[in-house]
Amino acid sequence: MPLRMFPGRFLQCAALVLCLGATAAYAETLPLPSNLTDLNSDEGERFFLESNARAAYFPIADHFVTQKNLAYCGVASIVMVLNAAGVPAPTTPEFQSYRIFTQDNFLDERTDAVLPRKILDRQGMTLDQLGGLLALHPLTIEVHHAADGGLDAFRAAARDYLAAKNHFVIVNYLRKTLGQQAGGHISPLAAYDAKADRFLILDVARYKYPPVWVSASDLFAAMNTTDADNDNKTRGYVLIAKAETEAAAKPDAAKDPPPQ
Between CA 60 and CA 200 the distance in angstroms is: 12
User: With a cut of 70, which residues of the chain have pLDDT below it?
Assistant: 1-27, 245-260
Q: Name the residue type at position 220.
A: F
Cα–Cα nearest to 219, from 254, 255, 180: 180
Q: What is the pTM of this model?
A: 0.86
Q: Tell me how far apart the alpha carbons of residues 204 and 75 are, in angstroms, rounded to a whole number.
A: 10
- Tell the burial category of 18 from Cβ atoms under 10 Å away from its Cβ (0-12, 13-18, 19+): exposed
In this predicted model, what pLDDT tens digit does every residue of 39-88 receive, in sequence order?
Answer: 999 999 999 999 999 999 999 999 999 999 999 999 999 999 999 999 99
The count of other CB atoms within 10 Å of the CB of residue 42 is: 9
CA 236 to mean position of chain CA atoms? 12
How long a stretch of residues is the chain? Answer: 260
Instruction: Report how far Cα 222 is from the mean position of its chain's Cα atoms.
Output: 14
Handedness of CA 57, 172, 246, 52 (dihedral sign): positive
DSSP state of 88: -
Task: Reply yes or no on domain 3-248 having CATH 3.90.70.30.
Answer: yes
Give the C-alpha separation, 11 to 14, whole Å: 5
Buried b (16+ CB within 10 A) or exposed e, 84-120: bbeeebeebeeeeeeeebbbebbbeeebeebbeeeeb
Q: How many beta carbons lie within 10 A of that of residue 197, not counting itself?
A: 15
